[in-house]
Amino acid sequence: TLKEILPGYTAVTGNPAVPPKWSFGLWMARISYSTQKQVEKVAADLRKHQIPCDVIHIDTDWYENDWECDLKFGKSKFPNPSDLMTELREQGFRVSLWQWPNMMLTSPMYKEGREGGYLVKKANGEPYHFTGFGPDAGMLDYSNPETVAWVKEKFRDLFRQGVAAIKTDFGEGLPPDGVYHSVPGESMHNLYPLLYNEAVFGVTEEMVGESKGIVWSRSAWAGSQRYPVHWSGDGVARYEDLACVLRAALSFGLSGFPFYSHDIGGFSGVPSPELYVRWAQLGMFGSHVRCHGAPPREPWAYGAEAERIFRQYDDLRYRLMPYIYSEAVKCGYTSLPMMRPLVLDYQDDPNTYTIDDQFLFGSSLLVAPILDETNQRRVYLPEGEWVNFWSKEILSGGKWLTADAPLDIMPLYVKAGTILPLGPKMQYVDERPLDPLTLEIHAPAATGQLTIHDEDRPDIEVSYRREGDKLHVDVSDTPGQVNVVVVGEALQVFVS
């Protein structure tokens, strides 16, 4: 089966790492925040508008010169980066920084790399210059162990200042006629992203803690699932691109990559408020969620209604964090994707073979995003019973239905028998303990079981058994109050 092929493949190419829990919160970015004051303001505005968020990403313009990539904060723009990191952490934020494997010819790092022999070369031994995208630049040769050691120390200094993650942009545009330290040029195109992300992921894990590594990458090869997370690259603010990033997610997941993201609103162009909302609704049901692009992608830039709906789905995502992180842990040891095409779970149902516009988020939630302006769509529910998340109506599967979807509704269904764990509202991951823990049991079966994983805290084991009109729920030790809600039926609930 497909579910057997994926772990077999990753057993050969490497098991996927599970990113740190905080990374499953919202990432807020644009191209680009460019000063310390600007970053401080967007952080304050996020909390003022009560938009839950964990990461502020600073893109190309944190250097003294935009795109320079000398891996140093520009002193005129970010005079006190360590203080900024401390201030943001106190507010519940972490910081991610952009870089690419190139450096402008005017950068002091280019001179150092040239003198040290750390750059990709031409046949005559001179550095190969990357042209055609911004200023001419030299490229790091990640096949050279000395290059890796040199650049890792540059990254260590950023982590010492409090940076949490590095965006490993580009990595796919390698010249086949380049001369590399240990690999022929024609073989380097596929291998380079693996070496590039391995190096940055490795130093991240070294500095922030074992099993806490992460990058934000757009290029990959076989084995790159060991170094998550990957995103779709630079889409355009169009409904066609919204549909495209979903198809990409499902394809990527079937390639052995459990964790994936895309830029809410598209990277370039101006989305209408309606497109921005529909993109956000889809984005909130991916493993990782980021707003990014130009012009700004903060939700208040798209009007009061868009901001309200964005907040509604962002709040829901944070309440679903016990489910999301637990499913992520499972994906780490099964190699199944967080966003999975229906065929992966329903391989014997020919109706699922060509469905590329809806998906399972984890094992229990069926998501049918709105990918056009119609506010209505056809939805296929596979065999079994499903519960409409919004109306709580129980529906029979194995058939198609038509779902109406005004702007604040994205069709969402819960598999019958699911124990859906929800935490309290939070402004950032782990802002408070899992108290209260709400367990929504949807159309209970005879028995059910759930393990809630919570990173460095003990797992919480939940099970239920049904006896007539009584439902007995067993919950292991939790940080606080437990509320049990039965959805779809009126049953007496006994919790122990």
**Domain 10-329 shares a fold with domain 333-415:** no
pLDDT range class, residue 195, cuts 50, 70, 90: very high
Q: Catalytic residue, from 54, 59, 141, 169: name it.
A: 169
Question: For residues 24 and 323, what is the distance between their CA atoms, to the nearest angstrom?
Answer: 11
pLDDT range class, residue 57, cuts 50, 70, 90: very high
Closest CA to 388 of 361, 363, 409, 357: 409
Predicted confidence (pLDDT) at residue 132 exceeds the cutoff of 80: no
Question: For residues 121 and 84, what is the distance between their CA atoms, to the nearest angstrom?
Answer: 38
Tell me what the mean pLDDT of segment 311-323 comes to: 99
Kind of pairing, strands 437-442 and 482-487? parallel
Q: Catalytic residue, from 40, 172, 205, 356: name it.
A: 172
Question: For residues 328 and 453, what is the distance between their CA atoms, to the nearest angstrom?
Answer: 9
Q: Specify whether 169 is catalytic.
A: yes
What was the pLDDT predicted at 241? 98
Q: Where are the domains of the chain?
A: 10-329, 333-415, 423-495
Closest CA to 218 of 69, 99, 325, 357: 99
Q: Catalytic residue, from 64, 87, 234, 349: name it.
A: 234
| Superfamily in which the 333-415 domain is placed by CATH | Golgi alpha-mannosidase II (2.60.40.1180)
Q: Specify whether 234 is catalytic.
A: yes
* Tens digits of residue pLDDT in 416-465: 999 999 999 999 999 999 999 999 999 999 999 999 999 989 999 999 99
Q: Specify whether 126 is catalytic.
A: no
Q: Is 90 exposed, middle or buried (0-12, 13-18, 19+ CB in 10 A)?
A: exposed
What was the pLDDT predicted at 134? 74
Predicted confidence (pLDDT) at residue 173 exceeds the cutoff of 90: no
Question: For residues 338 and 318, what is the distance between their CA atoms, to the nearest angstrom?
Answer: 16
Tell me what the mean pLDDT of segment 54-60 comes to: 98
Q: Which 8-state DSSP code applies to residue 483?
A: E
pLDDT range class, residue 477, cuts 50, 70, 90: confident
145-160 vs 108-116: helix crossing angle, rounded to 10? 150
User: Is 10-329 in CATH node 3.20.20.80?
Assistant: yes
pLDDT range class, residue 269, cuts 50, 70, 90: very high
What residues form DSSP beta bridges with 452?
460
Predicted confidence (pLDDT) at residue 133 exceeds the cutoff of 90: no
Tell me what the mean pLDDT of segment 467-496 comes to: 94
What residues form DSSP beta bridges with 385?
396
What was the pLDDT predicted at 135? 79
Terminal alpha carbon distance of the chain: 38
